[in-house]
Amino acid sequence: MSTFLHVLFILILAIAALILLRKGVNFLIQQWRRRAVLPESIKRIETLRRVLRYTVTVVVAIVAGTLALSALGVAIGPILATAGVLGLAVSFGAKNLVQDYFNGFFLLLENQIRQGDVIQAADKAGLVEDVTFRYVRLRDYEGNVHFIPNSAITTVTNMSWEYAYSVFEIGIAYRENVADAFDLIRQVSAELRADTEFSQKILEDVEIAGLDKWGNSALILKGRFKTSPLEQWGVRREFLRRLKQAFDDHGIEIPFPHLTVYAGQSKEGVAPPFHWISDEKRRTAKITRAARKTVEKPEDSIE
């Protein structure tokens, strides 16, 4: 009976310790939240809260289980020694599992990934829904969920760290005036930033890099907006929509891919004559060739 009471007392203490530790974690998180100013700091604090709660639960459960076994008369010394040897063997056999926890620890310690970020890691990209010592859970644009073990993460591309750039490439026809196109881009970007819906999303005026390259069918103009995190895609879509309308209103051609045919020239520098055959003449020539073949080989026509 005393053993049962001893085990019950250990369990009650464990539950009480777990409640107190969780309240302590919540209190610490609240203090951090009050000092946090940037949304990125709040996301990091939320990630740490979940990890700390999980860690506290595991530690209390292990300690309580060990004390309960000791109260039941089970010698925990050999068990701990066996667990140490078994853990060493498992660490060699499950090398990737151990590496998951090490990588997860440093990912959280160095604040590389936070819940709510949009990242690309291990050839997958999406919104971070969960970060643990074991894995990172992503949800992509199509709603697919990816569980990425931390050991598979060697490089992290965070697309929502403090700010982002919305990069655009605009193609115009070779006959258009580049300076006029730049003026129109600045005008549309100023109107977009003055819009109440986008004024908080765009942090600075448009930055025009210039004429980036000569394409096969168009001159490519390149520039970018500095935006708030996760707003770069929406800003770019709205800007392109408005710029398309502005180009139409001002008669600036957005060219389709086209091909210039070069017939070549002789050594004397004289180009061979180029003859255009209409569709009607081409059909007439086909009928003439078919009729000639029928006259020369009537048996083929019978067959």
Would you state the pLDDT for residue 190? 94
Domain boundary among 215, 230, 250: 250
Long-range contacts of 69-73 (CB under 8 A, 24+ apart): 71/3, 71/6, 71/7, 71/10, 72/3, 72/7, 73/3
Note whether 150 and 172 are same-domain residues.
Answer: no
Q: How far is CA 85 from the centre of its chain?
A: 42
Strand partners, 222: 169, 210
Note whether 144 and 172 are same-domain residues.
Answer: no
- For Cα atoms 121, 169, 163, give the angle at the middle one, nearest 5 degrees: 45
Would you state the pLDDT for residue 91? 57
Would you state the pLDDT for residue 5? 76
Q: What is the CATH number of the domain that holds 122?
A: 2.30.30.60
Collapsing DSSP to helix, strand or coil, 153 comes out as coil
Would you state the pLDDT for residue 301? 45
Q: What is the CATH number of the domain that holds 242?
A: 3.30.70.100
Assigned domain for 258 exists: no
Note whether 178 and 212 are same-domain residues.
Answer: yes
Q: What is the CATH number of the domain that holds 18?
A: 1.10.287.1260
Would you state the pLDDT for residue 113? 85
Note whether 170 and 232 are same-domain residues.
Answer: yes
Domain boundary among 158, 189, 206: 158
* Domain span at 227: 164-250
Rounded CA-CA distance 196/259 in Å is 44
Note whether 142 and 69 are same-domain residues.
Answer: no
Taking a C-beta distance cutoff of 8 angstroms, is the pair 228, 200 a contact?
yes
**Mind giving me the DSSP string for 222-263?**
EEEEEE-TT-HHHHHHHHHHHHHHHHHHHT---PPP------
Note whether 144 and 223 are same-domain residues.
Answer: no
Assigned domain for 179 exists: yes
> How do the pLDDT tens digits run along the chain, 303 residues long?
677 777 777 788 888 888 888 888 788 777 777 766 556 566 667 767 777 777 788 888 877 777 777 777 666 666 666 666 556 555 555 567 778 878 887 887 777 888 888 999 989 999 999 888 888 999 999 999 999 998 899 889 999 888 999 999 999 999 999 999 999 999 999 999 999 999 999 999 999 999 999 988 899 999 999 999 889 999 999 999 999 999 999 999 988 776 667 666 666 666 666 556 666 666 776 666 666 666 555 555 444
Assigned domain for 228 exists: yes
